[in-house]
Amino acid sequence: MDRIQHKHPADIAEELALLDHKSRDVAFIMLSNEMKVEVFSYFDVSTQTEIVKSLGDKELAEVLNNLEPDDRTELFENFPDELIKHSINLLNKEERNIALNLIGYEEDSIARLMTPLYIQTKENKTVEEVFDHIKRYGKKAETLNFIYVVNDQNVLIDDLKIGQLLLAEKTTTISELIDHNFVAITTTTPMEEAFDIFEKYDRSALPIITEKGVLVGIVTFDDILDRIKERDTEDIQKFGGMEELDVSYTKTPIFELIRKRAGWLIILFFGEMLTASAMGYYDGEIEKAVVLALFVPLIISSGGNSGSQAASLIIRAMAIGELKIKDWWYVMRKELASGLILGGILGLIGFSRILIWQETGLYDYGPYWIFIGLSVSISLIFIVLWGTLSGSLIPFILRKAGLDPATASAPFVATLVDVSGLIIYFTIASFFLSGKLL
């Protein structure tokens, strides 16, 4: 135990996480009180919950009272109601008020990430007085990069970089340094919008204020990065055609993993059954011209691939705020041109393939090979265009309906284009080969 006490808390957490549950809990209890708090914040949420349940009230109270408020709020979000109630009752009066205040905000609001641990001052204070205050209370602050200036009603009137104070004379008053030009986020701002604000102003921390301008906390960029990582992980999992995982892949039990994946697979399976129905509808054409069946995988995969590409581009552009719902017509125009050009490229390649195979004797498509080539190439143009338009439009439809655009997963778009692509292919083939092979 003495060996790990001198390691970085992150390294200790990593070592303890490798132990079995009983050994890990015992080893954690053996840590010093200060080290418990530091190590605890580096565990993932599921491990934190398991450790909390193993601690006695005294040890748990020690950890929760000294845990950063934003970390504690995230922990409470994953607790069952009874455990939240029990845990909050273990907090001292000051920390209990902070916890209840943070939990009361909407789940997706930026206030859920804020911490009340920062340095604030009044405009009548001198630089020397501010530094004295920092020496006394700065150790608990989340960041010392910014000093927040408030009035007697605790309304935020400015924020100052610590460098401005360091370069000023000791006797300079804060009122001489402020210009009332600052950026702040209201407590009700959704996290997604807050991410954009952080990116726009390139700040390491931003103050959180009420609708009336009262300063209630700050959010640091490291907390924002953690949530961006969680959001992107969820989007990637949804885009792959499954529900997002509650914990990491390695922590998810096999049956939970199956449950998360089975729903979408069943929906997509029923969707693909329509493909079989479409094939059955055209079995007469296939029977007369078996050669058409050779190009079915080529045709439907090209449409699905173009749709998946378009969906990926649009969903990412939406995620970073580059595209809004009002931009749908701009996207349609752009994807219309892209789809036609991409379809034309693939169509040309498809026709060239049939031409080369026919002329070199690698395969004999018969006397109507030119019409078969035209059927394939023209179908590719329309199917790639349809896939591109579908993949780019579906995210807008989902966003308009209030759903997550990431739900427009690649498998969903591919399934849609598979079914419709077959109809397009056999319709065009019927046009070119009617009275010949059909």
Q: Are the beta carbons of 436 and 371 closer than 8 angstroms?
A: yes
Based on the domain organization, do 162 and 204 belong to the same domain? yes
> Is the residue at 239 inside a domain?
no
Based on the domain organization, do 93 and 24 belong to the same domain? yes
Based on the domain organization, do 76 and 183 belong to the same domain? no
Residue ending a domain, choose from 58, 76, 104 = 104
Read off the CATH number of the domain in which 25 is found: 1.25.60.10
Q: Are the beta carbons of 298 and 357 closer than 8 angstroms?
A: no
> Is the residue at 228 inside a domain?
no
Based on the domain organization, do 69 and 129 belong to the same domain? no
Count other Cβ atoms within 10 Å, centred on residue 402: 6
Nearest by Cα to 67 from 85, 88, 86, 46: 88
> Is the residue at 227 inside a domain?
no
> Is the residue at 114 inside a domain?
no
Q: Are the beta carbons of 216 and 187 closer than 8 angstroms?
A: yes
> Is the residue at 243 inside a domain?
no
337's tokens: 């041109």
Based on the domain organization, do 41 and 189 belong to the same domain? no
Write the CB contacts of 288 (distance below 8 Å, at least 6 apart in sequence): 437, 438
**Residue-level pLDDT at 131:** 93
DSSP 207: E
Based on the domain organization, do 320 and 392 belong to the same domain? yes
Q: Chain-centre distance of CA 299, in angstroms? A: 32
Tokens 């059927």 appear where? 375
Write the DSSP string, 175-200: GGT--S----EETT-BHHHHHHHHHH
Domain of residue 266 covers 249-433
Write the DSSP string, 79-128: S-HHHHHHHHHTS-HHHHHHHHHHHTS-TTBGGGG-BS---EEETTSBHH
Tokens 């026709």 appear where? 351
How far is residue 181 from each of residues 102, 151, 160, 184, measured CA to CA in Å?
27, 15, 10, 10
Nearest by Cα to 419 from 281, 285, 292: 281
Based on the domain organization, do 335 and 403 belong to the same domain? yes
> Is the residue at 425 inside a domain?
yes
Read off the CATH number of the domain in which 367 is found: 1.10.357.20
Query: H/E element holding 161?
Result: strand 156-161
**Residue-level pLDDT at 223:** 76
Distance CA 366, CA 437 (A): 10
Distance CA 241, CA 73 (A): 30
Based on the domain organization, do 398 and 266 belong to the same domain? yes
Read off the CATH number of the domain in which 209 is found: 3.10.580.10
Q: Are the beta carbons of 162 and 146 closer than 8 angstroms?
A: yes
Write the CB contacts of 259 (distance below 8 Å, at least 6 apart in sequence): none
**Residue-level pLDDT at 265:** 59
Based on the domain organization, do 129 and 257 belong to the same domain? no
Q: How many domains does the chain have?
A: 3
At 259 the three-state DSSP class reads: helix
What is the Cα gyration radius of the chain? 30
**92 CB-side CA count, 13 A:** 6
Phi/psi of residue 395, nearest 5 degrees: -60, -35
Based on the domain organization, do 337 and 303 belong to the same domain? yes
**Residue-level pLDDT at 383:** 92
DSSP 3: H
Phi/psi of residue 419, nearest 5 degrees: -65, -50
Based on the domain organization, do 295 and 346 belong to the same domain? yes
Q: Angle 221-239/191-201 helices, nearest 10 degrees?
A: 120
Query: H/E element holding 62?
Result: helix 57-66
**Residue-level pLDDT at 401:** 82
Distance CA 401, CA 59 (A): 47
Distance CA 104, CA 235 (A): 26
Write the CB contacts of 234 (distance below 8 Å, at least 6 apart in sequence): 244, 406
**Residue-level pLDDT at 422:** 83
Based on the domain organization, do 336 and 260 belong to the same domain? yes
> Is the residue at 236 inside a domain?
no
Residue ending a domain, choose from 220, 235, 270 = 220
- Per run of 10 residues, the mean pLDDT along the chain (length 438 residues) is 67 85 81 80 80 80 81 74 69 75 74 83 93 88 89 91 91 92 89 81 87 87 72 57 53 66 60 62 65 82 84 79 87 92 93 91 85 92 92 86 68 77 86 79
> Is the residue at 162 inside a domain?
yes
